[in-house]
Amino acid sequence: MSTYKLLLLPGDGIGTEIMREMEKITQWLTAQGIIFFETETDLVGGASYDAHGTPVTDAVVAQALKADAVFMGAVGGPKWADVGFANRPEAALLRLRADLDVFANLRPAICYPALVGASSLKPELVEGLDILIVRELTSGVYFREPKEIVTLEDGSKRATDTQIYTTGEIERIAKVAFELAQQRRNKVSSAEKHNVMASGILWKQIVTQVGKELYPSVELEHVLADNCAMQLVRQPKQFDVIVTDNLFGDILSDVAAMLTGSLGMLPSASLGNTNPVTGRRFALYEPVHGSAPDIAGQNAANPLAMIGSLAMALRYSFDRGDVAEKLEKAIINVLANGTRTRDIADGAQAVGTSAMGDAVLAELQ
The residues that touch Mg ion, with contacts defined as CB under 5 A, are 290
In the complex, the smallest distance separating the C-beta of residue 25 from ligand ATP, rounded to whole angstroms, is 16
CB 90 within 8 A of CB 46: no
Size of the site for ligand ATP (CB under 6 A): 14
Instruction: Tell me which amino acid residue 154 is.
Output: D
| Residue 294 binds ligand ATP (CB under 6 A) | yes
Binding residues for substrate, as ranges, are 97, 107, 135, 226
Segments in the chain forming alpha helices (H):
14-31, 46-52, 58-66, 90-100, 123-126, 167-182, 198-214, 225-234, 246-257, 304-316, 321-336, 353-364
| Residue 16 binds ligand ATP (CB under 6 A) | no
| Residue 359 binds ligand ATP (CB under 6 A) | no
Binding residues, as ranges, are 77-90, 97, 107, 135, 226, 250, 254, 290-302
| Residue 301 binds ligand ATP (CB under 6 A) | yes
* SS3 (DSSP) at 88: coil
Residue whose C-beta lies closest to ligand ATP = 290
Buried-exposed string 175-207: b where 16+ CB fall within 10 A, e elsewhere: bbbbebbeeeeeebbbbbbbeeeebbebbbebb
Beta bridge partners of 8: 41, 71
In the complex, the smallest distance separating the C-beta of residue 217 from ligand ATP, rounded to whole angstroms, is 38
CB 279 within 8 A of CB 5: no
Host H or E run for residue 285: strand 281-287
- Nearer to Mg ion by C-beta: 293 or 321? 293
- Choosing from 73, 76, 267, 272, the residue that interacts with ligand ATP (CB under 6 A) is 76
- Nearer to Mg ion by C-beta: 108 or 290? 290
- Nearer to ligand ATP by C-beta: 6 or 18? 18
Spatial CA neighbour of 39 closest among 71, 8, 62: 8
- Choosing from 261, 267, 290, 308, the residue that interacts with ligand ATP (CB under 6 A) is 290
In the complex, the smallest distance separating the C-beta of residue 264 from Mg ion, rounded to whole angstroms, is 13
Spatial CA neighbour of 313 closest among 1, 5, 20, 94: 5
In the complex, the smallest distance separating the C-beta of residue 248 from ligand ATP, rounded to whole angstroms, is 19
| Residue 289 binds ligand ATP (CB under 6 A) | yes
- Choosing from 103, 343, 357, 363, the residue that interacts with ligand ATP (CB under 6 A) is 343
Angle CA 334–340–343, to nearest 5 = 135
Distance CA 143, CA 137 (A): 9
Catalytic site positions: 142, 193, 226, 250, 254
- Nearer to ligand ATP by C-beta: 25 or 223? 25
Query: What is the 3-state composition of the chain as percent helix, strand, coil, each rounded to the nearest 5?
Result: 45, 20, 35
In the complex, the smallest distance separating the C-beta of residue 185 from ligand ATP, rounded to whole angstroms, is 28
Question: Which phi-psi region, left, alpha or beta, contains residue 244 (left: φ > 0; alpha: ψ -120 to 50)?
Answer: beta
- Nearer to Mg ion by C-beta: 200 or 287? 287
CB under 6 A: which stretch of 113-121, 248-256, 289-297, 308-316 binds ligand ATP? 289-297
Q: Which residues bind ligand ATP (CB under 6 A)?
A: 14, 76, 263-264, 289-292, 294-295, 301-302, 305, 343
